[in-house]
């Protein structure tokens, strides 16, 4: 099993998972979306709110603001020494005290830990008019995507099978398959049908249906093309690595349980 990086941007990675199977590919995808923890605001204490929005609406908006996360610095509350009471090791506060006229943005939140700041400082929260004021304290903690979508570290995470396409010697060079392919996977190369870009193939099999000589063979493989786009709380490579570590821990725990049962 190997991983080949095709392209990498600040928040987006495309890679090929080689010599695997769809069971592991889907488990890795689900782990990246729902098992990798991040920080997000869990509740908000309002001290003053004279804006046009209810407390609940503002709290909901603040809860969805992605926060930079240090997984080495913070613990899950149920695994912390404070036993869930809340301490600097498992939660962090972000304070806000602004007066209008002003549009309040995520960058106006002031965290107790300067490393735990909003990923983007231009997310609008509420517009305050003359004489209006907003004073609150938001408390963030670690959580996972299976608990709430606000903890998800990736916005896009999907894969597709990379097929094996073979043009046999029975091909009569009618070129109907080249014209039928909606993704330009096949190419007419000096009167010969060749596979130009197998990564674009969606296995629709339109080429197979129009082939008069039945000369096109398409088979599934153990290679998968992944596209992962992060939200920004964690680097995408960190999300990928952490998801693998979590899957390994779960597999080891399952083996331990099976050994105890036997």
Helix (H, G, I), strand (E, B) or coil at 149: helix
Number of domains in the chain: 1
80 has binding-site annotation: no
201 has binding-site annotation: yes
- Domain CATH for 62: 2.170.120.12
| pLDDT single digits (tens) 228-257 | 999 999 999 999 999 999 999 999 999 999
- Domain membership flag for residue 207: no
177 has binding-site annotation: no
- Domain membership flag for residue 223: no
pLDDT at 83 (0 to 100): 83
- Domain membership flag for residue 80: yes
**What mean pLDDT comes out for the span 3-25?**
95
Give the HSE-up count for residue 17: Cα atoms under 13 Å, Cβ half-sphere: 23
Is the predicted pLDDT of residue 223 greater than 90, yes or no? yes
Name the strands in the sheet holding 38-49, side by side, starting at the edge strand that comes first in the sequence: 38-49, 133-143, 91-99, 110-111
Q: Are 225 and 4 in contact (CB under 8 A)?
A: no
59: containing domain: 39-149
| pLDDT single digits (tens) 75-88 | 999 888 888 888 99
- Domain membership flag for residue 121: yes
Q: Are 35 and 76 in contact (CB under 8 A)?
A: no
- Domain membership flag for residue 162: no
- Domain membership flag for residue 176: no
- Domain membership flag for residue 237: no
Is the predicted pLDDT of residue 262 greater than 90, yes or no? no
- The band of 191, judged by pLDDT with boundaries at 50, 70 and 90, is confident
Of 16-20, 35-39, 132-136, 258-262, least confident by mean pLDDT is 258-262
83 or 18, which is more confident: 18
pLDDT at 170 (0 to 100): 82
- Domain membership flag for residue 75: yes
């Amino acid at each position: 099993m190997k991983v080949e990086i095709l392209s990498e941007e600040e928040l987006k990675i495309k890679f090929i998972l080689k010599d695997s199977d769809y069971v592991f590919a889907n488990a890795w995808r689900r782990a990246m979306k729902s098992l990798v923890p991040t920080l997000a605001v869990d509740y908000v204490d309002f001290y003053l709110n004279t804006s046009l929005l209810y407390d609940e609406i503002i709290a909901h908006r603040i809860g969805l603001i992605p926060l930079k996360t240090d997984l080495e610095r913070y613990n899950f509350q149920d695994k912390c020494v404070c036993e869930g009471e809340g301490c600097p090791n498992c939660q962090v506060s972000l304070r806000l005290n602004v007066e209008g006229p002003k549009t309040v943005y995520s960058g106006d939140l002031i965290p107790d830990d300067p490393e735990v700041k909003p990923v983007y400082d231009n997310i609008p929260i509420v517009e305050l008019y003359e004489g209006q004021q907003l004073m609150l304290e938001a408390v963030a903690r670690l959580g996972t995507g299976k608990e709430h979508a606000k903890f998800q570290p990736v916005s896009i995470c999907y894969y597709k099978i990379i097929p094996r396409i073979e043009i046999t010697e029975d091909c009569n060079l009618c070129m109907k398959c080249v014209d039928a392919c909606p993704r330009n996977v096949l190419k007419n190369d000096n009167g010969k049908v060749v596979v130009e870009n197998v990564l674009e193939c969606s296995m629709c099999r339109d080429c197979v249906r129009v082939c008069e000589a039945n000369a096109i063979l398409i088979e599934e493989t153990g290679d998968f093309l992944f596209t992962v786009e992060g939200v920004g709380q964690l680097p995408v490579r960190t999300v990928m690595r952490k998801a693998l570590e979590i899957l390994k821990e779960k597999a080891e725990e399952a083996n331990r349980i099976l050994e105890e049962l036997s």
